[in-house]
Structure 1
Amino acid sequence: MSEHVVVIGAVALGPKAACRFKRIRQDAKVTLIDRDEIFSYGGCGIPYFVSGDVSDANQLRTTAFHMVRDEPFFHDIKGVDVLSGTEATKIDRAKKQVHIKNLKSGAESVLDYDQLVIATGATPRKLNLPGEELENVFYVGNMHDAEKIKQGITKGKYAKAVVVGAGFIGLEMAEAFADMWGIETTVVEIFDQILPRMCSPVLAKMGQNHMEEQGVAFKLGQTVASIEGNGKVEKVVTSDGEVEADIVIVSAGVIPNDKLARECGLDCSERGGILVDESMRTSDSAIFSGGDCVIIKNAVDGSPMFLPMGSMANRQGRVIGSNLAGHSETFPPAAGSWVVKIFERAMSGTGMSLGAARQAGFDAISVLLIMADRAHFYPEKDMMTLEMVVDKATRRVLGLQGYSAGGDAMVGRINAVAALMKFQPKIEDISNLEVPYSPPFASAMDVLNAIANMADNAISGMNHGHGPDTFAEYWANRESGKFCFLDVRESADAEPFLKKYPEYWHNIPQGEIPKRYEELPKDKKLVLVCNTGGRSYEAQVMLDALGFEEVHNTQGGMAVIKAYGVDI
């Protein structure tokens, strides 16, 4: 009798594992089970369906050849049987059986398996707030939510939206409401920055400022106390007031669906999630698992990590499908690479942010660089801001995050470092990283090489300075007499600031410092500024050599100061 593989869950990982196995083992029988009747779709595309960038919900279910991934498609094209609208209620490991229930008819039955895959995904986290059950409160957990939201938008039902949570989905949904549909949108976040734990407060503030320029409001560092309304939502009550709303999106993260695994005795994390080895096998050798319901290893420090991403699920699905067929493939530790589009900008990263690295026990520092993503003389270019996180003792690169208008160019740089993270790269590996060069695509000294060089200079003590957040603190205390703000650009660039702040703003072009350094006070902190931080670094080196002890270079210069939102 042919082997029977049963796969529980048919959104991302499940179909990939099933189809990969079936390609290798045409003689085997494969059954996919999913409790929903809409399955095998790109869940990460839901915000773009809501925005209108994706016009038809079925586009999220179609292949590149415009075939809808429904039951007939899987049966006829892939040779895989699908039981949709069917819930797996119990796994009997001793008998190798899955108990199932048809959610329409209520009929119960049993499927025998030789090997099993658990791909049950994750569930949106509910906050257990008063009013969560009101009409027009959504979690964007499936295609049904997406279609209801889109229908309400197209019928003009929503004028004011509140998004709870400033993670990936929250920001994408905020953009979808505000950009395409002109809905007044407010984002409420319990942390004091967007994308908490993913990037530094500096990059987060730059992204937030851009979204605010596009009309999105933010209430950071606030909790939601309740959602109120008469039958349907009318307002959201936060720890700092009220926000009117006729639609609420709760995007407060997800929880791995590990109930079936726990109940049948598989090893699971105390914090949630199924434990698997590098082959994606569970504590039962006949059962594999992957996707949004498992715990994997962090490539930076080896710690357990929950990483619910569609790309991750698809890659793991192929590994599982191969191993079901007797191969010996492994899935490496992950760095947690990400990217999010926010209007005309993008934010991306891999590895750990500075805060996450320090929390993990590293003696970490970060450096901030803004530079053209192409040759400076090429007419079409964007400024790219990168922040690199490194461990001082070992010189390991722990993470890289960025913010840019040229999203594709930035993601290319992040991808290059992401590919190296499992090898624990050091600063010199990125400093000397080979990248393709041509002026329309990169600089001769690429921005990636440049930020690694900057990290090297910072660790050696050659480049010592601060980001726009510290500059903002110094500027706010300019009347204290402790600081001398020195603009090292040419006089024409500095002139507007000299006129506006004659008592605090000073100018000596970098090339004139050797002749004019005696004009500078030695009893104050010299806060150096230029356009992007390059000339101010050169000036800092000069002043260090001239015996000045308190010289502070503003990394990223005026470009980052402006993007950060310092009122100057």
Structure 2
Amino acid sequence: MPQNIVVIGAVALGPKAACRFKRLCPEDNVIMLDQSDRISYGGCGIPYYVSGEVNNLEELQMTPYHTIRDADFFRVNKDVKVLSRTKAESIDRQNKKVRIKNLITGETSELPYDKLVLAMGSSPNRPPIEGLDLEGVHTCTTLEDAKAIREAVAGGSVNGAVVVGGGFIGLEVAVSMADMWGIKTSVVEIADQVLPGFLGKTMVKIATNDLIKNDVDVFTNEKVVRIEGENGKVARIVTDKRTIEAELVVMAAGIRPNSELARDAGLDVNERGAIVVNDRMQTSDPDIYAGGDCVTVPNLVTGKPGFYPLGSMANRQGRVIGTNLAGGDARFPGGVGTWCVKLFEQNAAGAGLTLEAALREGFDAVNVHVEGFDRAHFYPEHTVMALDLVVERPTRRVLGIQGTSGLGDALVARINAVAPLLQSKPVLEDISNLEVAYSPPFASAMDIVNTVANVADNVLAGRNHALDPEEFAVLWANRNSGEYTFVDTRIAANAQALVEKYPGQWNCVPLEEMEQRINEIPSDKTVVLICNTGLRSYESQLIMNRHGRKSLSVQGGMASVLKQGGEV
């Protein structure tokens, strides 16, 4: 007798699970329902429709062969019945029925199921502030949101925009407004940085400076108090520190799992509200599966529950669910939180833990920062990429990696090389000896991903006494204290401008001359060594170590200082 499979939610995970199951069990029945007319779309592409890089909204619903994935598409091509504009109101687990409501007619009915899939996704947070209902205040998670924002900015009536929230969606929307439409844009983030929990303090300064350089105001540690309007339309946003004029406000202050249906049915949810599933993606009821933005899966670095609202993860989980609905035994062990985001000149990406997250989790961890070429230095086209590696001191275990680069594909290649290893608790040697493809147009013979592990090895061994760019900035700002001497180890021509600008404070002793001129450097002060990327200053530090001299080498060198907006 054919099975009846009911899938609640038809954006990412739902269609994947339904189609995978039908391929394996073509004689069984699948009904998929969703509250919207627009189904099976690439939600992560919404900011790029807002920007105009994606021309038509329908492109986000298309297959690679330019067919719209609507209800007729699933009926004809997949033999999956779709009930659009239909809401699941309750689940009767005992009798295995879902009570549904047609949102157009108001009619209610029941759908029997043998197996049920919960793919309800998430909803944007709506903080309890005045003015959320004003015209011109939007969220940015559905195609309807995207259409409304695009029409507003394309109409030419928006001179100022405020994005509330500095996460992935918030920054992507801010870049879209400022870069593609020339709108004066501000980002307001309640945390002390943008991309909180994803970028460490060194990398986040690079990302923030990239935004500021491109005329996006970034206000962190700031809370929205209210949104004010005139004649029913948004006019300004008021925070606890300032007032910002704006004709458009995008609320991107995080998301929450859509788990009310599951909780009301008595399924297990965690304190965040995410549905608890096992590695087969089964809920506490083995006949009900769930995945995507509404579930929690293990963080494979910490071993604790994680929350990963990513379209890529939802699709992989959907395949696992579809396989298991058909009687298979597919497993989804969890994730390490691999991500990437496109900014202006810079792009950012990462996987695993930042230093701050590692310390909160109780790891005795250290972060190392390097700047290096993404291709062979002699190849005509190359850029300087930044990588951070987070390492547990006692075990040398690698806990996370983050990076920024002007070339996003080159950066993502490095992050993707390390991310799959994190669940296996790799140590530094695994990254130092990681085999990556090499040819001068694509990488250096000693790739930067190997280099960052080698630098971490030197730091843990005590050979490299490192100073991160933020610490350097503090020391340089207090250079008149008399405790430190600043020595530029680049060739004289590269250092000359700063030597002339700061006579007696910025000194140049090139690496090639360090051994012979070391006595020119005061021995009663800590020496701060700096170069372009950190390599020459480290080599100089080795010389100073042999002479028993105390020194600090600036990680990432001038490349990182300047990317962060340093004033030297």
TM bin, normalised by shorter chain, reads over 0.9
Distance 1:396 1:333 in 2: 19
Match of 2:36 in 1: 36
Q: Indicate the larger mover: 153-162 or 333-342.
A: 153-162
The aligned runs of 1:398-547 (5 Å cut-off) are 398-547=399-548
TM-score, length of structure 2 as denominator length: 0.99
Distance 1:530 1:411 in 2: 26
Matched, 1:85 2:76: no
Match of 1:11 in 2: 11
Matched, 1:105 2:117: no
- The amino acid that maps onto 1:170 is G
- The amino acid that maps onto 2:445 is A
Matched, 1:288 2:263: no
The aligned runs of 1:82-161 (5 Å cut-off) are 82-161=82-161
> Which deviations, in whole Å up to 9, do the C-alpha atoms of 1:282-320 show, x marking residues without a partner?
111101000000000001011101110100000000000
- The amino acid that maps onto 1:399 is G
Match of 1:564 in 2: 564
Deviation at 1:128, TM superposition (A): 1.2
Distance 1:60 1:443 in 2: 37
Matched, 1:320 2:283: no
- The amino acid that maps onto 2:275 is I
C-alpha contact 1:194 1:205 (8 A) present in aligned 2:
no
C-alpha contact 1:206 1:563 (8 A) present in aligned 2:
yes
Distance 1:232 1:451 in 2: 51
- The amino acid that maps onto 1:46 is I
TM-score, length of structure 1 as denominator length: 0.99
- The amino acid that maps onto 2:207 is G
Deviation at 1:87, TM superposition (A): 0.3
C-alpha contact 1:228 1:234 (8 A) present in aligned 2:
yes
C-alpha contact 2:355 2:366 (8 A) present in aligned 1:
yes
C-alpha contact 1:29 1:80 (8 A) present in aligned 2:
yes
Match of 2:177 in 1: 177
C-alpha contact 1:349 1:399 (8 A) present in aligned 2:
yes
Match of 1:383 in 2: 384
Deviation at 1:141, TM superposition (A): 2.3
Deviation at 1:408, TM superposition (A): 0.4
Distance 2:495 2:419 in 1: 39
Secondary structure of the structure 2 residue equivalent to 1:41: coil
Distance 1:47 1:248 in 2: 14
C-alpha contact 2:13 2:292 (8 A) present in aligned 1:
yes
Deviation at 1:272, TM superposition (A): 1.1
Match of 2:205 in 1: 205
Distance 1:434 1:285 in 2: 41
Deviation at 1:460, TM superposition (A): 0.8
Distance 2:514 2:247 in 1: 60
Q: Indicate the larger mover: 204-213 or 377-386.
A: 204-213
Match of 2:57 in 1: 57
C-alpha contact 1:16 1:321 (8 A) present in aligned 2:
yes
> Which deviations, in whole Å up to 9, do the C-alpha atoms of 1:20-78 show, x marking residues without a partner?
00000000000001011111111110000000000000000010011101111000000
Secondary structure of the structure 2 residue equivalent to 1:326: coil
Match of 1:364 in 2: 365
> Which deviations, in whole Å up to 9, do the C-alpha atoms of 1:422-472 show, x marking residues without a partner?
111111000000011111111110101110111111111111111110010
Distance 2:319 2:465 in 1: 46
Deviation at 1:112, TM superposition (A): 0.3
Matched, 1:278 2:279: yes
C-alpha contact 1:302 1:333 (8 A) present in aligned 2:
no
- The amino acid that maps onto 2:136 is N
C-alpha contact 2:189 2:221 (8 A) present in aligned 1:
yes
Identity %: 50
Secondary structure of the structure 1 residue equivalent to 2:219: strand
Distance 2:465 2:21 in 1: 54
Deviation at 1:192, TM superposition (A): 2.2
C-alpha contact 1:463 1:537 (8 A) present in aligned 2:
yes
Deviation at 1:344, TM superposition (A): 2.6
Distance 2:130 2:147 in 1: 25
- The amino acid that maps onto 1:56 is N
Distance 2:153 2:490 in 1: 50
Secondary structure of the structure 1 residue equivalent to 2:146: helix
Structure 1: which 5+ residue stretches go unaligned?
none
Number of residue pairs matched by the alignment: 567
The aligned runs of 1:236-315 (5 Å cut-off) are 236-315=237-316
Deviation at 1:145, TM superposition (A): 1.1
- The amino acid that maps onto 1:87 is K
Distance 1:305 1:280 in 2: 14
Secondary structure of the structure 1 residue equivalent to 2:191: coil
C-alpha contact 1:345 1:404 (8 A) present in aligned 2:
yes
C-alpha contact 1:115 1:286 (8 A) present in aligned 2:
yes
Distance 2:48 2:82 in 1: 27
- The amino acid that maps onto 1:563 is K
C-alpha contact 2:211 2:218 (8 A) present in aligned 1:
no
Q: Indicate the larger mover: 151-160 or 58-67.
A: 151-160
C-alpha contact 2:188 2:220 (8 A) present in aligned 1:
yes
Secondary structure of the structure 1 residue equivalent to 2:369: strand
Secondary structure of the structure 2 residue equivalent to 1:100: strand
Distance 1:220 1:445 in 2: 38
> Which deviations, in whole Å up to 9, do the C-alpha atoms of 1:68-126 show, x marking residues without a partner?
01111000000100000000000000000000000000000000000000001101001
Deviation at 1:157, TM superposition (A): 2.2
Distance 1:153 1:273 in 2: 35
C-alpha contact 1:332 1:422 (8 A) present in aligned 2:
no
Match of 1:337 in 2: 338
Cα RMSD between the aligned structures?
A: 0.8
Distance 1:83 1:8 in 2: 10
- The amino acid that maps onto 2:4 is H
